[in-house]
């Protein structure tokens, strides 16, 4: 049985989990050597992608081991979150200040110095964490959990379960899309739903024999749209946290440019909602005629079976 035509088997899913975990380990190694902006971003994506995959496969996995793995992956992503947000804020807010010409050169430089201090402090915290016993224990525990042979409990209907679970992810995203509002927290929840749907779809749609580049491209656009809205919202909160004397000055001058970015992204979101379509997620199954032909071909090419003494 081939995964592309009749849906994935348990072994296909085990290999997929192993592959995604190997990718995460490789990215963590890069961060340990040099915690740069790109390496941290790739590691967070790898951790979230694996976590989304495991959550989607929930009915096929042992609950106690799944809960442990998801908790460790969530903590890994969170531990990288502060420095990732500081990196994004440093680039995004400095570019906005220059492009909008809302600040004088001196105020621009003061803003950049504050952003640099914020980023450097987050990098120092991350370096300390990467050398900690807690970090090493979490990495070892995650490897032991994902490598446990009891982790996968799938039966012969794995393909049907995967298709159903993936379809439910898209349905939840559709409902969140329809119920969207301009509330930043509601938009953040919609962004998380889009991320999990995209990561799970990228991993599992090929195993179902489904290729829908447009659906994945639309998800990426949605994620980018909501991501910049979130960056703008976080930038406002960070500016407000600076306090006197710099905070009120910067906030007063940058609030309007930031507000225009958020408004533009909300208009884009309305356009994306009108074009949003769910992909067809049923696993592709060979027709009876093709299955018989495939069976005859396999039997004709197989070596003759040796009869056992008991047969």
What is the reported pLDDT for 154?
67
What is the reported pLDDT for 166?
94
Query: pLDDT averaged over the chain?
Result: 87
Assigned domain for 101 exists: yes
For residues 170, 276, 193, 183, the Cα torsion angle rounded to the nearest 10 degrees is -140
Looking at residue 58, the DSSP 8-state letter turns out to be G
Higher-scoring residue by pLDDT: 310, 52: 52
What is the reported pLDDT for 279?
87
**Structural tokens at position 151:** 């982790």
Assigned domain for 67 exists: yes
Assigned domain for 293 exists: no
131: domain range? 3-282
Higher-scoring residue by pLDDT: 197, 278: 197
CATH number of residue 216's parent domain? 1.40.20.10
The Cα 94–Cα 114 span in angstroms is 10
**Structural tokens at position 72:** 């460790």
Assigned domain for 306 exists: no
Buried b (16+ CB within 10 A) or exposed e, 38-69: ebbbbbbbbbbbbbbbbbbbeebbeeebbebb
Tell if the pTM clears 0.85, that is, is over it.
no
- The whole-angstrom distance between residue 143's C-alpha and the CA centroid of its chain comes to 19
Q: Quickly state the pLDDT bin for 10 (edges 50, 70, 90).
A: confident
| Residues ≥6 apart with Cβ < 8 Å to 279 | 170, 201, 205, 210, 212, 215
Assigned domain for 275 exists: yes
Q: Quickly state the pLDDT bin for 282 (edges 50, 70, 90).
A: low
User: Are 278 and 171 spatial neighbours (Cβ–Cβ below 8 Å)?
Assistant: yes
**Structural tokens at position 134:** 């807690």
The Cα 226–Cα 266 span in angstroms is 8
- pLDDT one-digit tens code per residue, 187-203: 999 999 999 999 999 99
Q: Quickly state the pLDDT bin for 309 (edges 50, 70, 90).
A: very low
Percentage of the chain modeled with pLDDT above 90: 74
Residue 165 CB neighbour total at 10 angstroms? 18
The Cα 48–Cα 139 span in angstroms is 15
What is the reported pLDDT for 278?
86
Higher-scoring residue by pLDDT: 293, 231: 231
pLDDT greater than 80 at residue 290? no
Domain count, the chain: 1
Higher-scoring residue by pLDDT: 156, 80: 80
What is the reported pLDDT for 294?
35
- pLDDT one-digit tens code per residue, 65-104: 999 999 999 999 888 999 999 999 999 999 999 999 999 9
Query: What's the average model confidence in pLDDT over 217-225?
Result: 95
pLDDT greater than 90 at residue 311? no
The Cα 56–Cα 177 span in angstroms is 19
Closest CA to 151 of 160, 142, 159: 142
Q: Quickly state the pLDDT bin for 9 (edges 50, 70, 90).
A: confident
Assigned domain for 115 exists: yes
What is the reported pLDDT for 158?
87
In three-state secondary structure terms, 179 is coil
pLDDT greater than 70 at residue 5? no
Q: Quickly state the pLDDT bin for 299 (edges 50, 70, 90).
A: very low
Assigned domain for 302 exists: no
- pLDDT one-digit tens code per residue, 116-128: 999 999 999 999 9
The Cα 165–Cα 59 span in angstroms is 9
Q: Quickly state the pLDDT bin for 6 (edges 50, 70, 90).
A: low
Sign of CA dihedral 54, 198, 159, 165: positive
pLDDT greater than 50 at residue 60? yes
pLDDT greater than 70 at residue 291? no
User: Are 102 and 253 spatial neighbours (Cβ–Cβ below 8 Å)?
Assistant: yes
What is the reported pLDDT for 233?
95
- My answer on whether omega of the bond before 82 falls inside 30° of 0, hence cis, is no
User: Are 103 and 111 spatial neighbours (Cβ–Cβ below 8 Å)?
Assistant: yes
What is the reported pLDDT for 156?
67
pLDDT greater than 90 at residue 50? yes
Query: What's the average model confidence in pLDDT over 37-50?
Result: 93
**Structural tokens at position 301:** 């090419």
Assigned domain for 123 exists: yes
């Amino acid at each position: 049985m081939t995964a592309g035509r009749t849906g994935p088997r348990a072994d296909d899913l085990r290999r997929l989990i192993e592959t995604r975990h190997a990718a995460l380990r490789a990215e963590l190694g890069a961060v340990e050597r040099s915690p740069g902006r790109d390496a941290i971003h790739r590691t967070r994506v790898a951790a979230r992608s694996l976590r989304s995959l495991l959550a989607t496969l929930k009915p096929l996995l042992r609950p106690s081991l799944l809960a442990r793995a998801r908790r460790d992956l969530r903590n890994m992503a969170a531990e990288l979150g502060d420095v990732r947000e500081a990196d994004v804020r440093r680039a995004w807010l400095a570019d906005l200040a220059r492009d909008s010409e809302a600040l004088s050169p001196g105020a621009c430089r003061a803003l950049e110095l504050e952003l640099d201090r914020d980023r450097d402090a987050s990098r120092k915290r991350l370096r300390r964490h990467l050398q900690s016993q807690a970090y090493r224990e979490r990495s070892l525990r995650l490897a032991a959990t994902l490598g446990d042979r009891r982790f996968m409990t799938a039966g012969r209907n794995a393909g049907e379960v995967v298709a159903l679970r993936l379809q439910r992810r898209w349905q939840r995203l559709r409902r969140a899309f329809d119920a969207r509002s301009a509330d930043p927290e509601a938009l953040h929840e919609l962004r998380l739903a889009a991320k999990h749907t995209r990561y799970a779809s990228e991993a599992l749609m090929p195993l179902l024999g489904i290729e829908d580049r447009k659906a994945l491209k639309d998800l990426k656009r949605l994620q980018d749209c909501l991501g910049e809205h979130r960056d703008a919202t976080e930038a406002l909160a960070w500016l407000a946290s600076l306090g006197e004397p710099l905070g009120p000055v910067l906030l007063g001058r940058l609030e309007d440019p930031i507000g225009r970015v958020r408004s533009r992204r909300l208009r884009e979101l309305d356009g994306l909602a009108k074009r949003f379509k769910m992909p067809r997620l049923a696993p592709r199954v060979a027709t009876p005629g093709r299955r018989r032909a495939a069976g005859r071909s396999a039997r004709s090419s197989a070596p003759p079976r040796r009869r056992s003494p008991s047969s």
